[in-house]
Structure 1
Amino acid sequence: MEPSEHDIVISGISGRFPNSDSIEEFWFNLVNGNELYTADDRRWPVGHIGTPPFSGKIKELSKIDAQFFKMCEKEAQYLDPSHRILYEVVYEAIYDAGIQALN
């Protein structure tokens, strides 16, 4: 197959997963058969029909290094947790790709 101007190369990777703060930790947990989901009786009552009492939680969901991303503390406090994760994993993927001139 010939390369074209529309081809995309993925050269960096990052991610957050339940009980895994990085791709490496996620892979380690998968290879070793570690459980990534935890019992969560607060979220679903035990015995609730059709819903297992387990959940996958991402650690430190509400923390972000506001200074690193050049935002004020108040802005960081109200940042949606999914946006915080997006900021971090995009930065880590770009860094993983060898591009270090972001800051």
Structure 2
Amino acid sequence: MPGTQLHPELAEARQRGAYFEAAELSHQTNTLPEVCGRVCPQDRLCEGSCTLNDEFGAVTIGNIERYINDKAFEMGWRPDMSGVKQTGKKWRLSAQARQVWRVRMS
């Protein structure tokens, strides 16, 4: 969501190569940034509201979040799941969502 991300902190951590820290920051404002970075229409949401868009082009936050989290996962990072409570509820991915995921992943 525009204005609620920690963009400067993410960029600074990424520049230092602190991918675990960047992933933690990314997960503070989004429970699934590695997924949203792939399927969310940032061009119409975040990037459309980006104040840098007029002069320099929008920050491609979806690509940044995806890269940071993919890199952290590759390096062995895992999100802290200690606060997750079992509810007994189940979820499933609809056929339409699976198709979108397949298109975005290719």
- Report if TM-score (shorter chain) is over 0.5: no
The structure where helix makes up a greater share of residues is 2
Structure (1 or 2) with the larger CA radius of gyration: 1
Report the TM-score when normalising by structure 1.
0.25
Report the TM-score when normalising by structure 2.
0.25
Higher relative contact order (CA 8 A, sep 6+): 1
